[in-house]
Amino acid sequence: MISCINLKKNYRVGHTEKRVLKGVNLSIAPGDRIGLLGRNGAGKSTMIKLIGGVEMPTSGKVHREMTCSWPLGFNGGFQGSLTGYDNARFIARIYGKDYSEMRQFVEDFTELGRQLRMPVKTYSSGMRARLAFALSLAIEFDCYLIDEVILVGDKNFQEKCHYELFERRKDRAILLASHSMDSIKEFCNKSAVLQDGLLTEYDNVDEGLAIYQTL
């Protein structure tokens, strides 16, 4: 169970404060697959960063009673100047995971071959998405935080993600921020809509999507 209690987040912009989240509550139970909806700038990424512990809330609390991945996105979580292998090695080290296993998994999952020996900054966004997923799937988490990234992959990658996340790890929780209604429909069983710094949870996907379309 992960629960966010009255999360508020302000960003300083020059001399004024921009209030992005104004008291958000959300709980993620094991097995929940929540689609996070909202317009550009509504605070979806901020929300995911707070839950992942990347940034700290201005006030409020995040209680994590299950393990939770870092936010999967195009940047963050890995270092552009290092190679794919170096990043894998770093992550294996800080999460106390055996590197040879990690390497095997990353090679199989990403199918990037020799490209893994190149610095990550030379990767396309699809390749980054593959690497980000491979690295976090190699470490077992109870909850995966996914910020958009799932959508950029090709068909083969989407199928792999589907298998790894939704068949092999059926019992895990997922928070997926996305603008793609199709993927939310496909992957999620609950939805949450961010609007004006507040969040509304819906027990099914259709209701949330209907609200989202009216925004």
Partner 1 sequence: MQPVKKALQAWRIQQRVIVALMIRELTTRFGRENIGFLWIMAEPMLFAVLVGTMYSIMIGEQEHGVGVIAFVASGYIPLTVMRNSFGRIVSIFLVNGALLYHRQVRVLDFILVRFLIEMVGGMMAYLFVGTLLIAFDLFPVPAHIGFFLAGWSLYMLFVFSLCLVIAPLSEMSEVLEKLMPVTVYIAIPLSGTFNMVSWLAPAARDVVLWSPFVNGMEMMRYGLFGDAVRPYYNIWVPLGASAVLAVIGLALCRRVRRTLVVE
Q: Which residues contribute to the site for partner 1 (CB under 8 A)?
A: 11-12, 49, 52-56, 58, 70-71, 75-82, 86, 89-91, 93-96
Q: Which amino acid is residue 203, in one-letter code? A: D
Q: State the CB neighbour count (10 A cutoff) for residue 183.
A: 18
Nearer to partner 1, 74 or 166 (CB): 74
CA distances from 184 to 45, 84, 175, 191 (A): 16, 29, 10, 8
Query: How far apart are the C-alpha atoms of 139 and 203, rounded to whole Å?
Result: 29
Alpha helices in the chain (DSSP H): 44-52, 84-94, 99-110, 125-138, 155-161, 181-187, 205-214
Cβ nearer to partner 1, comparing 48 with 188: 48
* Residue 57 C-beta-side C-alpha neighbours within 13 Å: 21
Which residue's CB is nearer to partner 1, number 54 or number 112? Answer: 54
CB 173 → partner 1: shortest distance, Å? Answer: 17
| Three-class SS state of 204 | coil
76/166 with CB nearer partner 1: 76
Q: How far is the CB of 63 from partner 1 (least distance, A)?
A: 14
Q: How far is the CB of 212 from partner 1 (least distance, A)?
A: 26
Residue closer to partner 1 (CB basis): 64 or 179 = 64
3-state secondary structure of 131: helix
Shortest distance, CB of residue 156 to partner 1, whole angstroms? 26
Find the shortest distance in angstroms from Cβ 81 to partner 1.
6
